[in-house]
Amino acid sequence: MKLNRIKSVLVERDKSQQWLAEQIGKSFSTVNAYCCNRQQPSLEILDKVAECLNVDMKELIIERRERDSLNLK
């Protein structure tokens, strides 16, 4: 089950996991665990990730078409 879309959004924004790790002050290993959904970031970290990637936190959790179908714009 896919719990977050961090990896997908990084690809969409042409950013690397290493770049994100440096931006949020976490190790590459931790960010990789987030991207592979082996570990989930806290809401505080998810907020930092969203800010760095210039997206709404919802964008990191649920796909746009799913969000639109649920009317969570």
Domain count across the chain: 1
**Tell me, what DSSP letter sits at residue 1?**
-
pLDDT band for position 72 (cuts 50, 70, 90): low
Distances in Å between the Cα of 64 and the Cα atoms of 21, 23, 48, 55, 68 are 24, 24, 20, 12, 6
CATH number at residue 44: 1.10.260.40
Confidence (pLDDT) at 71: 61
Q: Which of 7, 37, 51, 21 is nearest to 29 (CA)?
A: 21
What digits encode the pLDDT tens for the residues 12-71?
999 999 999 999 999 999 999 999 999 999 999 999 999 999 999 999 997 656 545 656
Confidence (pLDDT) at 52: 98
Domain that holds residue 35: 5-71
Confidence (pLDDT) at 49: 98
**Tell me, what DSSP letter sits at residue 55?**
S
Confidence (pLDDT) at 35: 97
Length of the chain: 73
